[in-house]
């Protein structure tokens, strides 16, 4: 029904920046929260940043001040601007769509390494 298409992952050096984007392939405006989670091997998926339809953001403590989430409601798009990246930010990042039926993107790899 709703597909979440992600882009922007890749390899970046510590201290660098990366921008992730996710677009929901749906013709109507989504009113549910959207955001980003991440997961590393042997660890459960963790919330990175989520924004409500009304623009209310929630950040994981470890990314506060470094990451900025934004969304374009008209385009059903959510983006994550990641700055001052650290090796511990390395993970597969998943786009998240809330609501009664949670949807996930396919995941995009972010690797922070020198």
Give per-residue pLDDT as tens, 19-35.
Answer: 999 999 987 878 899 99
Which 3 state secondary structure label does DSSP give 3?
coil
* pLDDT at residue 54 is higher than 90: yes
Residue with tokens 């929260």: 33
Residue in the structure block whose two tokens are 């042997």: 42
Q: What pLDDT is attached to residue 105?
A: 97
pLDDT at 30: 80
Give 75-98 pLDDT, tens digit per residue. Answer: 999 999 999 999 999 999 999 999
Q: Which secondary-structure segment (H or E) carries 103?
A: strand 103-104
pLDDT at 1: 77
């Amino acid at each position: 029904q709703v597909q979440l298409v992600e882009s922007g992952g890749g390899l970046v050096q510590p201290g660098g920046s990366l921008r992730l984007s996710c677009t929901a392939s749906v013709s109507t405006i989504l009113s549910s929260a959207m955001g980003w989670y991440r997961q590393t091997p042997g660890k459960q998926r963790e919330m990175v940043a989520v924004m409500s339809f009304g623009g209310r953001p929630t950040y994981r403590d470890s990314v506060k001040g470094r990451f900025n989430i934004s969304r374009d409601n008209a385009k059903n798009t959510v983006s994550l601007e990641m700055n001052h990246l650290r090796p511990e930010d390395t993970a597969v990042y998943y786009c998240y769509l809330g609501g009664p039926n949670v949807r996930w993107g396919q995941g995009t790899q972010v690797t922070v390494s020198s």
